[in-house]
Structure 1
Amino acid sequence: MMLAIVLAAGTPAAGLSTATGEPLADRLAAQLRRAGADQVRFAADLDELAGLADSATGPLLVTGADLVAHTAVLRHLATSPVGPTVALVLTDPPVPGRTAVREERGQVVVAGPVGALDGDATGVFGGALRVGVDDLPNLAAAARAAAAGVLPVATPLGPAGDVAPLPVAGGGGSPASVAAGGPGSAVDRLFAGLTALGTLVFAQRVRLLVAHRVADAAGLTAAEAAVTAVDEDRAELRLSVKERDDFFSTYFVSTWSPYVVRVAARLRLTPTGVTVISVLFALAAAVLFGVGGRLALVGGAVLLYLGFVLDCVDGQLARYTRNFSAWGGWLDTMADRAKEYLVYAGLGFGVTHAGLGNGWALAIAAMTLQTVRHMTDTWYGVLHDEAARRPRTAGGGGGGIGDRLNAASTRVQADTGSLSYWLKRTVVFPIGERWALIALTVALFNPLVSLVAVLVWGTLAFAYTGALRTLRARWMWVPVLDTVDATLHRDDGPLAVRLPVVRPMGPLTLAVIAALGPAALLVAALVAAYGDGSAAGLRWWLPVALLVLLVGGLGARAAHNGPLDWLVPAALRAGEYLFAITVGVVGDVPPWLIFGYVFVLTVHHYDLTARLEKRQAAPPLHDATLGWEGRSALLALAAIVGFAGIGMATLGTYLLVVFVASVVLAWVVLPARAARASMVPVRTGGGAPG
């Protein structure tokens, strides 16, 4: 249940009436109900708000009484999926008494009175915020502190640039700092105190909608006129499109996909339903690519394009209808990768079926490359999010090439729509460009050209992004992997966590060494296979490659706080995939089976990264997946005794069953149990049910 609180304290506009004669605070309360609040309360002061926060069992939606906005603005704030605690940020001219903010990557990193941010402000607090359940204690503490006239102030400590707020009840370290001074209205003081208490606050922009804070009747009249001048539904439909997307998506999909969104909404389709339809389109395209023939290839290209349109529509529909769910977000991430790799399978089969070469080998290479790339993309995003929340450590230093690259990237990203902007977004080979390249090359040429094009562009993009990101990461010097469960995201099994720690080599060096062993044996196996027709003679080298692979486990219990340790998961994924492919080549396993096994591994690993991105817990049956080293050891054993194909098929089937069972547990069984438990009366001390 969501409770909304209108805080009128210290707001001159609290007594204003709208053009219809309705008190502004009453109209705001009605809008909050339409925005999704189950109950609306008026708080006379911050102490009363603190009491409401103490007793709340769900998220709180807090607004000042001076906000004039579309109802959609409040609905977007109430339903925002970016994080548990979200604040409305406006581009209104700063006025005394308001709180200015600086945001990075959608996070509020500095909040303070207007004029105290030295020109670094990116907006002003909009007088409304949604506070997640876990942050309610901080909200109550900030309210009581502000009511007592105490504002936590973050001050620099030492050369490292760390910050720490002055003591406040319930306080702690703060990723967002608060500039010295005190905002005027109660809701501004509340927001400034909340950020100072270490609360991670995300920013919600209004974009095409209207929201203003007013102080007098003239301001109210002007704000109401601005709200009336904008068609709310039309603006919401346009807002369903991502503000910044890739070139192909922007100009070849989003120009007409909103019309599909409106039709889907009228048909009452859910985002999940659209996701399922897009998977079917991709599956049909993959089948046509495998069948071959010009008509089938062109038809498959068209279906692939339409499937990508629907892939965009599901997210746009979710934003338009505000129909967000953890399940939907997870499914969308998993479906995106499954669709792409099914298409690779169709292309690989088509190449082999047409006698153009070993298409399965190309498909396996494309899938492995793309998965390792995605692992680096995920963790580089986490790196930047963490960098936005805290300053660099003393070892980072300043200036140098990393500083220049960061400044150049910021300039290019700010120059929206320019040639350099689109080149930067396109060269990294995002999903839209990948699907466009596949559709064009397969329709004009054949599946072989398509797979080769994907591999070439993907390799160049990986080299480009890898080099620049490494330089920028070394400059930022922000540890990331030590902020999460490293064992989980490394995917370590029972063997790796028991291996000793090797120093002075760090976990990244060990992980890279681990990947080099299987890579070397794979090259030798491919040379033997294409030369003599068989690589079976290298079977007894598999234990050596396995031992080299296990070197990666020597860093499992080491501190992952190096500036490049965010690359460890990707290096371990590369090592495991290369070893599995090597076992398949040496053991003469059918290429389609190798593809299937690696595909199951990617599904397992994307499950981990999807949960990381959605801030979810580990899969319920994660321990049953045996870890990267356990799976590799079993494959090696099966190959040594001459049953590589049977071993790979059995292990792959087992992992797929574990994955499906884990999904059912995580998204069906456990939520149902939790719902039933919340409805069961609790017995205490032998008394009657309460």
Structure 2
Amino acid sequence: MTLAIVLADPAAGLTTNAGERLADRLAGQWRRAGADDVRVAADLTELAALLAGATGPVLVSGADLVAHTAVLRQLATSPVGPTVALVLTDPPASGQVTVREERGQVVAVGDPEGATGVFGGALRVGRADLPALAAACAAAGSAGGPAVDRLLAELAACGPQIFAHRVRLLVARRVGTPAELAAADAAVGAVDEDKAELRLSVKERDDFFTTFFVSTWSPYVTKAAARLGLSPTGVTMISVAFAVAAAVLFGVGGRPALVAGGVLLYLGFVLDCVDGQLARYTRNFSAWGGWLDTMADRAKEYLVYAGLGYGATHAGVRYGWALAIAAMTLQTVRHMTDAWYGVLHDEAARRPRPAAGEAGGIGGKLNAASTKVQADTGSVSYWLKRTVVFPIGERWALIAVAAALFGPLVALCAVLIWGTLAFGYTGALRTLRARWMRVPVMTTVDAGLHRDDGRLARTLPVARDPLALAMIGAFGAAALLILALRVVQGGGELRGWVVPAGLLVLLGGALGSRATHAGPLDWLVPAVLRAGEYLFAIAVGVAGHAPAWLIFGYVFVLTLHHYDLTARLEKRQPAPPLHRATLGWEGRSLLLGIAAITGIVNIALATLGTYLLVVFVASVVLAWVLLPARARRTPVPVGGGDRSPG
């Protein structure tokens, strides 16, 4: 149950033109915004007493806030995190509390230096952070400005992670006089709330292709989907169907089929944008929907690669499937580095900024340059920076156009070339910036889980430098793959000791499992381990003369498992229920190595791939259907952990 509390001071005496107290009007808005229970508290002592009976998220606002109801609803349903503060972009005025945010997190309150906005007088506190809110009530005192401002400052000092919710297109203002109240009411009345919400469903900052070739008309599709009663999940499923149809047409080949496949791929991407826009427009968020959207995006893209690989092969290209496997492997490793670099930035944002004398060096200069370019929205340098990294919109556009005009071979080669260049560019810059930030991120999580270690890795002796060990293993797998390709192309067979030697080098990366991942570049460890496992599996398949489509299928199942882990990281979800049954990267590699030695590679790839797929599906059903149903039937005691997805 969601509780909303309006703190009556300092504007308790203000009344609207209709004679209604501003605090009472705000309480009514909170009810319309979705709060189950709304109370008006005279001070922080009364607020603390109300918190004692809270069993869900708590919404707190001062009585001096004038805003569209949509602003309050957006704050109450914000998916960015459990605890969120309303942040206004108004220039700081006398008495207003400033905030500084980085990557959507409030990292400083009340410090004018580097301020990016002012506190809007409202916040949502997740159930897990309610003890911190109660402590903030006790510490805030009774003097020193509006109670809600003191409350935010003390809450930030207590340590919870606070995210920022900014107001765009709609109106939110804090008032202190009848004249300010009248002006704010006039500003609210001048905005069409529904039209603004529809425009807000489009991401504020997106990539070039999405911004100019999708978002210019996708809101009309979003509006139609809302009127038809479609859910975001339903739109996601339609998008998957379009992508699968495009993959089939790419596999069929022939100019009409390739052109039709390109059109369907574009429309599928439009729907891929619409599902998120529909979720924001209808405020229909869920952890399941976010997870499904992430997983569907990757599955769609890789099925398209499969269609292109099949089509190229049947058009006479010898290495069609090999190109598809390479594209999938490259893109997955890229995404793993993207995810953990994002965690690096989030962790860095919570730490004190470097002193002026420490901000030099090439890493500091790159960080300053990147921040400057990102702030210069709409400039040529801004769009170049967003395009060169080869985001999903640009990838799908390139595939659609290249496949329609030139065929599957050109499409796959174009994806590989641009993807490799983007990987090199982002990898180099991120490495330099990470060395400058020197933030250990793998020490804040279960490193073994995100490394995807199995029982063997977790029991090996501790060794230093997990990144170096993982890189040696990945390079060993790459060398094994190159050797296998050369020998098999020449019509020969690998010597019996080669695969075991490659396996031993790869498994050396497991020695770093229990080491402290505190190095400035240790955020790369999960991606390097993914690269090593994929390359070794491909090498075993090549050495065992497995069909290319079977190798693709096995690596595809591995990517589903690893994207599940990454999506749970991004959505702040626990580990998959059956994670232990996936054997770990070293356990799977060991089984494939034994299969290569005994000459049953085809059987091993098919059996192990099928087993992992069954475990993945069973884990999904458990995590999103059976366990939540059981939790709903089990009463949760007051003060228990927060099960809500935020």
Alignment TM class, shorter chain as reference: over 0.9
Contact 1:393-1:478 within 8 A present in 2 as well: no
Q: Could you tell me which residue of structure 1 aligns to residue 22 of structure 2?
A: 24
Equivalent in the alignment of 1:147? 141
For residues 120 and 358 of structure 2, what CA distance do their matches in structure 1 show? 35
Amino acid corresponding to residue 127 of structure 1 in structure 2 = G
Q: Distance in 2 between matches of 1:223 and 1:208?
A: 14
Q: Which residue in the other structure is 1:304 paired with? A: 265
For 1:664 and 1:110, how far apart are their aligned partners in 2?
Answer: 41
How far off is 1:562 after superposition? Answer: 0.4
Of 610, 618, 621, the residue aligned with 1:661 is: 618
- Correspondence 1:129 to 2:123: yes
Q: So what's the TM-score if we normalise by structure 2?
A: 0.97
> What are the equivalent positions in structure 2 for 1:545-624 lying under 5 Å apart?
545-624=502-581
Partner of 2:300: 339
2:634 corresponds, among 674, 677, 685, to: 677
> Using the alignment, how far apart are the partners of 1:412 and 1:401 within structure 2?
16
Deviation at 1:393, TM superposition (A): 8.6
Deviation, 1:191, is: 0.8
Aligned mate of 1:434, from 378, 386, 395: 395
In structure 2, the partner of 1:250 is: 211
Distance 2:273 2:80 in 1: 18
> CA 1:393–1:557 in structure 2 vs 1: closer, same or farther (change >3 Å)?
farther
Report the counterpart of residue 475 of structure 1 in structure 2.
436
Q: Say which is worse superposed, 348-357 or 433-442, in terms of deviation.
A: 348-357
**What 5-or-longer segments of structure 1 have no aligned partner?**
150-181, 682-690
1:507 corresponds in structure 2 to 466
1:206: which partner in 2? 167
Q: Spell out the pairing of 1:317-336 with structure 2 (5 A cutoff).
A: 317-336=278-297
Structure 1 position 106, deviation (Å):
0.6
Secondary structure (helix, strand or coil) at the match of 1:5 reads strand
Partner of 2:642: none
- Relative to structure 1, is the Cα distance of residues 502 and 680 closer, same or farther in structure 2, using a 3 angstrom cutoff? closer
Aligned-residue offset at 1:14: 1.4
SS for the counterpart of 1:416 is coil
Equivalence for 1:685 = none
Match of 2:490 among 531, 548, 554: 531
Does the 8 A contact of 1:14 with 1:65 survive in 2?
Answer: yes
How many residues in Structure 1 have an aligned counterpart in Structure 2? 637
| Structure 2 residue corresponding to 1:638, chosen from 576, 595, 598 | 595
Q: Offset of 1:621 from its aligned partner?
A: 0.3
**Runs of at least 4 residues off by over 6 Å:** none
Instruction: Spell out the pairing of 1:256-405 with structure 2 (5 A cutoff).
Output: 256-391=217-352, 397-405=358-366
| Residues 247-295 of structure 1: per-residue CA shift (max 9 Å, x gap) | 0000000000000000000000000000000000000000000000000
Which of these residues, 78, 84, 87, is aligned with residue 85 of structure 2? 87
Aligned to 1:56: 54
**Which has the larger displacement, 664-673 or 88-97?**
88-97
Unaligned runs of 5+ in 2: 639-646
| CA deviation string 1:453-493 (max 9, x = no partner) | 00000000000000000000000000101100000000000
Amino acid at match of 1:642: G
Q: Identify which of 460, 465, 480 aligns with 1:521.
A: 480
Q: Give the Cα–Cα distance (whole angstroms) in 2 for the partners of residues 421 and 383 of structure 1.
A: 22
Matches for 1:74-113 after TM superposition, within 5 Å: 74-112=72-110
Answer with 384-393 or 317-326: which moved more.
Answer: 384-393
Give 1:27 shift. Answer: 1.0
The 1:598–1:3 alpha-carbon spacing in structure 2 relative to 1, beyond 3 Å, is same
User: Which amino acid in the other structure matches residue 24 of structure 2?
Assistant: D
Counterpart secondary structure, 1:199: coil
When normalised by structure 1's length, the TM-score is: 0.91
Q: Distance in 2 between matches of 1:515 and 1:391?
A: 35
- The offset of 1:55, in angstroms, is 1.9
Percent of aligned positions that are identical: 76
2:148 counterpart residue number = 187
| Cα shift readout 1:593-651 (whole Å, capped 9, x = no counterpart) | 00000000000000000000000000000000000000000011111111000011000
The one-letter amino acid of 2:212's match is: Y
Alignment of 1:394-473 (within 5 A): 397-473=358-434
Question: What is the CA-CA distance between 1:91 and the residue it aligns to?
Answer: 1.8
- Is the partner of 1:537 in helix, strand or coil? coil
Alpha-carbon distance in structure 1 between the residues aligned to 2:89 and 2:558: 46
Q: Which residue of 2 aligns with 1:178?
A: none
For residues 362 and 655 of structure 1, the distance between their equivalents in structure 2, rounded to whole angstroms, comes to 24
Residues in 1 aligned to 2:138 and 2:636: alpha-carbon distance in whole angstroms:
33
CA contact (8 A) 1:392 1:476 kept: no
Q: Is the 8 A contact 1:54 1:136 kept in 2?
A: no
Quote the residue 1:4 is aligned against: 4
Aligned counterpart, 2:643: none
Q: Which amino acid aligns with 1:595?
A: F
| 2:196 matched residue in structure 1 | 235
Q: Secondary structure at the match of 1:139?
A: helix
**Cα separation, partners in 2 of 1:538 and 1:243, compared to 1, 3 Å:** farther
Q: Which residue of 2 aligns with 1:223?
A: 184
C-alpha offsets along residues 508-566 of structure 1, whole Å, 9 cap, x if unaligned? 0000001011110110111122222x5x3345311100000011011000000000000
Alignment of 1:489-500 (within 5 A): 489-500=450-461
Once residues 30 and 614 of structure 2 are traced to their aligned partners in structure 1, the CA distance between those partners, rounded to angstroms, is: 45
- The equivalent of 1:67 in structure 2 is 65
